[in-house]
Chains A and B, each alone.
Chain A
């Protein structure tokens, strides 16, 4: 089976390190595999996942997270965030992540095809600019996203392979 890989980019660059995902994916833009597409969603919504995972698609959700060292990168199955007491996405003031995941699944999204890449942040207050530790971790974050997509491409023989 093959399908597209969608990168869903969460966050708001005017909330400090909440812009980490946008910055990391921007580094990737020029080199990313052609069959991947990037969607900036701000706050993740269930229908974003349903659309991305429809017709055999895969997706990688990228967001800043609280609960790990600033600049560190975390890769987990998206579904695991619903039950996790650990690091959580830093998206502001939207549906809680467990509701987003639960709704997406109830609406038919195959969450076994979704990965989460989290980038640790230090500050999420009003104001632009990333913390120095997060900037220092940008290459690693972009590299991780690239590697995960390449892995999916190899495993699933996506059209970009």
Chain B
């Protein structure tokens, strides 16, 4: 439902742009933007999905229980949550996994990036650029386009099924390795699928590069992981466009979360109070030279890399380039794969702080667990990418508004929705409260 209004009294021109239920985003949120005499006086992305208390649920649990629990935070990116937790515990316990296990984990993450990005590019975001209201309209207009997107998504899901045990909330990851490591023959079918996926991903880059995007150049603080050799995914240091360079475990040194009225997600900002942008755009800007040569070639052919860094509407291109990255990398991981001698190695708990960050499809995801000498979690902090992007989204809404105020209100509202979708927000993930007080009864 769209609510819009214009008040003109005593010489004041006040307009309200409101979307009570945002569509084509994951979860439930709303937009409210008020403009008075051409000046934005309120820009809010509200998240009203019920808080989910995951940080409380994991307290009292063992590391492997935590890994099962955090997978349930998101049906689109469970691997991100699981792998961040796995790395955090392994870093604390001093676990070094077999290189083949590392490869399988990265393959799983590639599968998740493929299915998540394909969903967003084809079914959620592309309709905006084609002047359509939904993927259903798009399918009626160009059936083969939607079929390509669904095919790509399915191949991502297949990777999760084969390596992760099932496509939704996979079950193979554990501290010390994997519960099960597939043999090469089990992976053979994926190889043919991935040839097809690479081809579709390359077509996707060309397709979205031809989309006309609204003009919106702005400098934003960008944050991502950066790895010495690999495109950032599950390992690397925390870097930013203004020179930050910290271990992935040290997110809390540079950033903080704050409660904001009217939303069940905590907003994150730098310690200095600045909003920042995560996700594919930030990764390409900060680690683009780590792209696979095929992904790099696809990006170069568009001639849009510079605009990508400043115009968030172009994030659909960044996602498409990462589709090439993930499909090609998955194919190469399969080609080089040798089953590990042991799927998992034993580990001993150590008391201390387990922390890590990985790159979920939507951006940096940080976990921190305080663990006792038996390995039991005593407190936890989980900072999803959407809650980190939320302040940047609101800042961009305010920045972008003046450029559309002359448009009919419905069209301006549509542009605001398109802008929000450019961040691929996952509102269900973002809904959380850090501080939960449980009072004993009686």
Contact = CB atoms under 8 A, between A and B. Distances in A.
B168 A106 contact: no
A42 B168 contact: yes
B139 A103 contact: yes
B167 interface: yes
A102 B134 contact: yes
Interface stretch (B72-80, B216-224, B275-283, B359-367): B72-80
A47 B123 CA distance: 13
A45 B168 CA distance: 12
Contacts of B76: 93
Contacts of A99: 123, 134-136
Chain B interface size band reads 20 to 34
A161 interface: no
Nearest to B68: A14
Contacts of A46: 150
Nearest to B135: A103
B146 to A, nearest CB: 7
Given A46-B150, A99-B135, A103-B135, A126 B143 contact: no
Given A46-B150, A93-B74, A126-B69, A102 B168 contact: no
Given A14-B72, A46-B150, A102-B134, A107 B143 contact: yes
B132 to A, nearest CB: 12
A15 B75 CA distance: 12
A15 B135 CA distance: 29
Chain A interface size band reads 20 to 34
Interface string A92-103: 111100010011
Interface string A9-47: 000101100000000000000000000000000110111
A108 interface: yes
Contact of B143 (A12, A92, A108): A108
Given A12-B169, A42-B167, A107-B143, 14 more contacts: A14-B169, A42-B168, A47-B151, A47-B154, A93-B26, A93-B74, A99-B134, A99-B135, A103-B139, A106-B139, A106-B146, A107-B147, A108-B143, A126-B69
17 contacts: A12-B168, A15-B72, A42-B166, A42-B167, A42-B168, A46-B150, A47-B147, A47-B151, A92-B75, A93-B26, A99-B123, A103-B135, A103-B136, A106-B139, A106-B140, A107-B146, A107-B150
Interface of A: 12, 14-15, 42-43, 45-47, 92-95, 99, 102-103, 105-108, 126
